[in-house]
């Protein structure tokens, strides 16, 4: 294999593909990047058996071939080479020669034959969605994905597609996040995407990404994002019946300024630590939201005005959970719906229901 290419383009491709490279593996090749030189392009692939990322870079190919190169070392070398044009070649002993300007390296590679094949997605049907829309949907729901091992299906987000609508759902037992948008697909599909894959999908979506193609079938999901292809495993199992947790009615509705509510909760949180996890008490009555926190470190009280309709509510909230839900609403105002002090608190936009966030209350000591 022998080729020349632009260093900056190769460096960007290596940085993105490296996200899917295994940090430690029983298969040494998976700790590297597969390079393949053919047809005036260099194809790069990173794969850790859960997620694979591939892309290609234009190059002058003098000899076709393939090899696996240690990811971290290769990335560090490419990043620090002094010239904008690089020359890379390999020999029959799997030695990789990298040169640019007066700097050159000789490093040991791994045979491409040791690199596992990426899985195929058992479907030709494509779902189309705008890049910024998908990035926003992931950002507004991924915070509620569980990091615990008890229920594997909760370690990813449910993608539910029907009647040209995509719904992304995340749940961790204490909160639930739902985001809904239109897509170009009139069929029905549902699948669970792992949290790590969602993070890498979001990372690859740029401000210039317009259309993303999604194929789901069998045990795998394939997305085409600009010049990158992501293949990820789908989490098998049945996602919880989240629809049963969404209240069909409410006794109290409050419209609040999002930033004002966040600031108030953050002020109460100054008395909390990792060891002190007392709930913050929130009372909604007569156009006033009153908050208080009483811990071994001291006591704090605050209040602000809001539009309140319905019954008086006194509820305990986990400061982290309510702050995250409010922040990821990404709107100036939100509606908060409640059914007393022991039922989930529901957060919606000021108009419509393109997102629904549920937060479980924490029982207050005095009630």
Q: 178: alpha, beta or left, given left = phi > 0 and alpha = psi -120 to 50?
A: beta
For residue 265, count CB atoms less than 10 angstroms from its CB and return exposed for 0-12, middle for 13-18, buried for 19 or more.
buried
pLDDT at 366: 64
272 Cβ contact list (under 8 Å, min separation 6)? 278, 293, 295, 319
10 Cβ contact list (under 8 Å, min separation 6)? 42, 57, 78, 86
pLDDT at 122: 78
Give me the mean pLDDT over the 64-91 stretch. Answer: 97
**Annotated domain spans of the chain:** 2-114, 127-243, 246-359
The model's pTM is: 0.93
Q: 112: alpha, beta or left, given left = phi > 0 and alpha = psi -120 to 50?
A: alpha
pLDDT at 75: 97
Give me the mean pLDDT over the 28-32 stretch. Answer: 97
Return mean pLDDT, the chain. 95
Is the pLDDT assigned to residue 367 strictly greater than 60?
A: no
Is the pLDDT assigned to residue 160 strictly greater than 90?
A: yes
305-315 pLDDT per residue, tens: 999 999 999 99
- CATH 3.10.150.10 given to domain 246-359: yes
Mean pLDDT is lowest, of 123-127, 235-239, 354-358, for: 123-127
Sole residue written with tokens 């008086």: 312
Strand partners, 98: 88, 105
pLDDT at 316: 97
pLDDT band at 330 (very low <50, low <70, confident <90, very high): very high
Alpha carbon 14 to its chain's center: 20
Are 306 and 255 in contact by the 8 Å Cβ rule? The answer is yes
Supply 40's token pair.
């005036």
Q: Higher model confidence: residue 275 or residue 15?
A: 15
Give me the mean pLDDT over the 118-133 stretch. Answer: 89
Are 283 and 290 in contact by the 8 Å Cβ rule? The answer is yes
> In sequence order, what DSSP letters do the residues of 90-136 get, joined into one string?
E-TT-EEEEEETTEEEEEE-B-GGGSPPPPPPS----EEEEHHHHHH
Domain 127-243 carries which CATH code? 3.10.150.10
Query: From the DSSP assignment, how many helices (H) and strands (E) are in the chain?
Result: 6, 25
257-307 pLDDT per residue, tens: 999 999 999 999 999 998 888 999 999 999 999 999 999 999 999 999 999
Supply 134's token pair.
């998908």
CATH fold of the domain at 2-114: DNA Polymerase III; Chain A, domain 2 (3.10.150)
| C-alpha span between 335 and 323 (Å, rounded) | 15
Q: Higher model confidence: residue 177 or residue 184?
A: 177
Is the pLDDT assigned to residue 34 strictly greater than 50?
A: yes
pLDDT at 149: 72
Is the pLDDT assigned to residue 96 strictly greater than 90?
A: yes
Are 68 and 29 in contact by the 8 Å Cβ rule? The answer is yes
Q: Give phi and psi for 204, each to the nearest 5.
A: -85, -15
Residue % of the chain over a pLDDT of 90: 90
Is the pLDDT assigned to residue 64 strictly greater than 50?
A: yes
């Amino acid at each position: 294999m022998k080729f020349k290419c632009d260093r900056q383009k190769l460096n960007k491709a290596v940085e993105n593909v490296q996200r899917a490279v295994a940090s430690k593996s029983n298969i040494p090749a998976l700790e590297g990047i597969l390079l393949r030189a053919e047809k005036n392009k260099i194809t790069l692939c990173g794969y850790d058996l859960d997620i694979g990322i591939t892309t290609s870079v234009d190059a002058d190919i003098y000899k076709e071939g393939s090899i696996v190169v240690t990811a971290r070392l290769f990335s560090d070398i490419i990043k620090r080479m002094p010239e904008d044009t690089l020359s890379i070649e390999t020999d029959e002993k799997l030695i990789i020669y990298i040169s640019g300007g007066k700097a050159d390296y000789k490093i040991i590679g791994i045979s491409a034959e040791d690199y596992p094949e990426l899985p195929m997605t058992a479907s030709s049907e494509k779902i189309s969605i705008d890049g910024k829309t998908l990035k926003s949907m992931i950002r507004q729901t991924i915070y509620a994905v569980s990091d615990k091992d008890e229920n594997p299906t909760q370690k990813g987000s449910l993608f539910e597609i029907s009647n040209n609508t995509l719904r992304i759902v995340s749940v961790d037992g204490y909160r639930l996040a739902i985001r809904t948008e239109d897509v170009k697909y009139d069929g029905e599909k549902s699948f669970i995407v792992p949290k790590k894959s969602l993070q890498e999908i979001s990372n690859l979506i740029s401000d210039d990404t317009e259309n993303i193609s999604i194929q789901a079938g069998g045990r795998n999901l394939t997305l085409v994002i600009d010049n990158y292809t992501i293949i990820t495993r789908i989490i098998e199992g049945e996602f919880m019946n989240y629809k049963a947790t969404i209240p069909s009615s409410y006794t109290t509705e409050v419209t609040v300024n999002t930033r004002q509510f966040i600031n108030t909760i953050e002020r109460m949180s100054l008395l909390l630590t990792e060891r002190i996890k007392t709930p913050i008490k929130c009372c909604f009555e007569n156009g006033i939201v009153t908050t208080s926190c009483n811990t071994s470190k001291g006591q704090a009280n605050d209040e602000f005005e809001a539009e309140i309709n319905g019954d008086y509510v006194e509820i305990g909230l986990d400061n982290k959970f309510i702050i995250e839900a409010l922040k990821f609403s990404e709107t100036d105002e939100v509606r908060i719906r409640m059914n007393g002090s022991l039922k989930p608190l529901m957060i919606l936009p000021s108009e419509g229901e393109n997102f629904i966030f549920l937060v479980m209350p924490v029982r207050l000591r005095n009630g």
